[in-house]
A = this chain, B = another copy of it.
Amino acid sequence: MRALYTITDLTREFEVTTRTLRFYEQQGLIDPLRRGRTRLYRPADRTRLNLILRGKRLGFSLAEIREIVDMYDAPPGEHGQLTLLVDKIARKRTELQARRHDIDQTLAELDAVEAGCRDRLAKIPKGRQ
């Protein structure tokens, strides 16, 4: 695990463009170091990027992703804030479970479609195109 990454290091590793990284920064999702004006990403920045891209794959908007990654930051010290965070987590969990259910349903349906295909394939005489 290296100490610091340049912007192109990350674009190569995660297959995103520099524009994307700068856009995420502008949106307050990442905040790399600077050496002069040049961005330098720490392992923690890299981890955050990983979270962001995972959120994207799950179809969350950047605003929703911000909600999620903010939860990973140092938890607050105050009782009320902690309770709010726990509630937020509960809601996100429910949402994610619903999406997993969507996935499972889709997978089951694809299984059924595939079974149908295989049935038909089996009925096509061998040697026929």
Binding site for B on A (CB under 8 A): 54-60, 68, 71-72, 75, 77-80, 82-83, 85-86, 89-90, 92-93, 96-100, 102-107, 109-110, 113-114, 116-118, 120-121, 124, 128-129
Contacts and interface: CB of A to CB of B under 8 A. Distances in A.
Given A82-B120, A114-B86, A106 B59 contact: no
Give the number of copies in the complex: 2
Nearest to A125: B79
A60 to B, nearest CB: 7
B129 A110 contact: no
14 contacts: A56-B59, A57-B102, A58-B102, A58-B103, A68-B106, A71-B110, A80-B129, A82-B121, A89-B117, A92-B110, A96-B106, A96-B107, A100-B104, A103-B103
Interface residues of chain A: helix, strand, loop or mixed (majority): helix
Contacts of A80: 129
A107 B98 CA distance: 12
B120 A75 contact: yes
Contacts of A107: 93, 96-97
Interface centre among A59, A78, A104, A105 (most CB of B within 10 A): A59
